[in-house]
């Protein structure tokens, strides 16, 4: 079970790094520049797929961590 949690966490990190940066101009907010950081952007194609897989892996990670913390799997 520990190995499965480690595999899911590595995949989750890799997919999070692959996602396009939605805060690419976050520095402008700190400096007071005009930024459309919170603009409504639609994800399409591969970006949408990566986002959905990241969400599912996050849920799997949460469930595995919860089950392991309650000693359900020994």
1's CB contacts (< 8 A; 6+ apart) are 64, 67, 68, 73
What is residue 18's predicted lDDT score, i.e. its pLDDT? 84
74: in domain: no
How far is 4 from 61, CA to CA, in rounded Å?
9
Question: Do the beta carbons of residue 69 and residue 54 sit within 8 Å?
Answer: no
Structural domain tally of the chain? 1
pLDDT tens per residue, range 11-36: 999 998 888 665 555 555 555 555 55
What is residue 25's predicted lDDT score, i.e. its pLDDT? 52
60: in domain: yes
- Which domain covers residue 47, as residue numbers? 2-69
Q: How many residues does the chain have?
A: 74
38: in domain: yes
**pTM of whole model > 0.75?**
no
How far is 29 from 9, CA to CA, in rounded Å?
31
Percentage of the chain lying above the pLDDT 70 cut: 65
35: in domain: yes
What is residue 36's predicted lDDT score, i.e. its pLDDT? 56
């Amino acid at each position: 079970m520990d190995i499965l949690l480690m595999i899911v966490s590595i995949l989750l990190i890799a997919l999070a790094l692959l996602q396009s940066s939605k805060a690419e101009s976050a520095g402008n907010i700190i400096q007071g520049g005009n930024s459309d950081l919170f603009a409504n952007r639609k994800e399409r194609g591969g970006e949408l797929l990566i986002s959905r897989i990241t969400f599912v892996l996050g849920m799997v990670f949460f469930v595995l961590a919860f089950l392991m913390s309650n000693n359900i799997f020994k």
